[in-house]
Amino acid sequence: MSGSDPIRPYRLVLADGEVFEGEGIGADPNDGVASGEVVFNTVLSGYQEVITDPSYAGQIIAFTYPHIGNYGVNATDEEARRPFCRGVIVRDLARRHSSWRSEGDLDAFLRTHNVAGIAGVDTRRLTRHIRDFGAMPGAFGDTDAAALQAAAQSDPTTSGFDLVRLVSTDKPYTVGNAQRRIIAYDLGIKAAMLRQLSAMATVTVVPASTPAADVLAEGPDGVFLSNGPGDPQLAGSIVDELPKLIGRLPIFGICLGHQVLSLALGGSTFKMKFGHHGGNVPVMDLRSGKVEITSQNHNFAVETGSVPDVVETHVCLNDGALEGMFHKDLPVFSVQYHPEAGPGPHDSRYLFKDFERLMDTTGSAP
């Protein structure tokens, strides 16, 4: 937003009536109001990757880092064909962007993709409120507080319906050109994941609704289950199709892929109070005692101890949440966090090598 643009006074109102003042950035909200489940993200950089992550479908992203937009945007850093988030909340939107990689400014990027935002918000107070009371719907715009609260209270949040169908590809496509062959279920797949996978294999990305029989007919070396938005119990047919693949092919799941795999193996999932969203979450590998700093973005988690016949391999040091597992007898493993993280951290990228070795062996777990 340039200094000559007129100020658009906005309010952000949460479903419980908490009010925050700010000014409009990005696109004008449809019908004057933008609503969605408000979550906070703690990254210090990588705002473009966060905004374009399909896992944010149905959500409004509040950045805890106060200064956002300072290095602009560029096409290389986009994680999907467009943003799927409902809006963006920042403390201070940079009036100038400066980077040799920059191809434009964040405000123009939001306008181009029809994403509304609000700046000038006391994001420290907002974050503390969400930590105390949990992620909840919110709405922002230039209308009165009562109307915004009503819009927030009527928002469906990320529970109760299938968000995967909104972000998954409509038809298969292929990336990479290597000897191995991977079928990747697109539950909301990120470009960074495809970069890692295509370095080791020819990757065919398929819609989330693809039947297991179609996957087996392709004869791949492995199956990948991507990240994605929403409740894993409502992620379409994937949970019913996975048992037809488990034990027949090596499988690696990340984030929502970890959750739907856990459900297919007989586990259970739950919605967290405010989820994990950030690039600085400490996770311990219980096998080695090594601590990794990880990128995470999820509102739901797998219930510890609920998945039969697996070894629980990773745990979040902040709250004890289950972060990884592998099956005792089958070539299947998954993690809740994001080893592909762009721009980082990169502590966990060894997991792609684990998948590579798993496909090249007789099915022993990593």
- Whether residue 100 lies inside any domain: the answer is yes
Question: 259 pairs with which residues across the strands?
Answer: none
pLDDT of residue 161: 80
Task: Name the domain boundary from 154, 174, 202.
Answer: 154
Does one domain contain both 144 and 274?
Answer: no
Name the residue range of residue 31's domain.
9-154
- Whether residue 301 lies inside any domain: the answer is yes
pLDDT of residue 192: 96
How is residue 113 written in tokens? 């993709």
pLDDT of residue 159: 74
Does one domain contain both 99 and 136?
Answer: yes
Does one domain contain both 144 and 185?
Answer: no
**Residue-by-residue DSSP string for 73-92:** B-GGG--SSS---SEEE-SE
pLDDT of residue 4: 53
Which residues are the active-site residues?
255, 338, 340
User: For residue 135, what is the enclosing H or E element?
Assistant: none
- Whether residue 207 lies inside any domain: the answer is yes
Does one domain contain both 37 and 133?
Answer: yes
- Whether residue 2 lies inside any domain: the answer is no
Q: Which residues contact residue 229 at a Cβ distance below 8 angstroms, ignoring those fewer than 6 apart?
A: 54, 55, 56, 57, 58, 59, 84, 158, 163, 164, 166, 167, 188, 256
pLDDT of residue 6: 78
pLDDT tens for each residue of the chain, 366 residues long: 444 577 899 999 999 999 999 999 999 998 899 999 999 999 999 999 999 999 999 999 999 999 999 999 999 999 999 999 999 999 999 989 999 999 999 999 999 999 999 999 999 999 999 999 999 999 999 999 999 999 999 998 777 788 999 999 999 999 999 999 999 999 999 999 999 999 999 999 999 999 999 999 999 999 999 999 999 999 989 999 999 999 999 999 999 999 999 999 999 999 999 999 999 999 999 999 999 999 999 999 999 999 999 999 999 999 999 999 999 999 999 999 999 998 889 999 999 999 999 999 864 445
Contact predicate 301/272, CB 8 Å: yes
Does one domain contain both 210 and 294?
Answer: yes
- Whether residue 366 lies inside any domain: the answer is no
Q: Which residues contact residue 18 at a Cβ distance below 8 angstroms, ignoring those fewer than 6 apart?
A: 129
Does one domain contain both 59 and 133?
Answer: yes
Structurally, the chain folds into a number of domains equal to 2
Does one domain contain both 126 and 272?
Answer: no
Does one domain contain both 212 and 307?
Answer: yes
pLDDT of residue 158: 75
- Whether residue 84 lies inside any domain: the answer is yes
Q: CA-CA distance, 8 to 264, in Å (whole number)?
A: 48
Place of tokens 């969605």: 36
Does one domain contain both 102 and 178?
Answer: no
- Whether residue 159 lies inside any domain: the answer is no
Task: Name the domain boundary from 154, 188, 222.
Answer: 154
Does one domain contain both 74 and 186?
Answer: no
Does one domain contain both 293 and 217?
Answer: yes
Task: Name the domain boundary from 154, 180, 203.
Answer: 154
Q: What is the pTM (predicted TM-score) of this model?
A: 0.94
Contact predicate 106/92, CB 8 Å: no
Query: CA distances (Å), 357 to each of 130, 199, 251, 252, 363, in order?
Result: 41, 14, 12, 12, 9
- Whether residue 342 lies inside any domain: the answer is yes
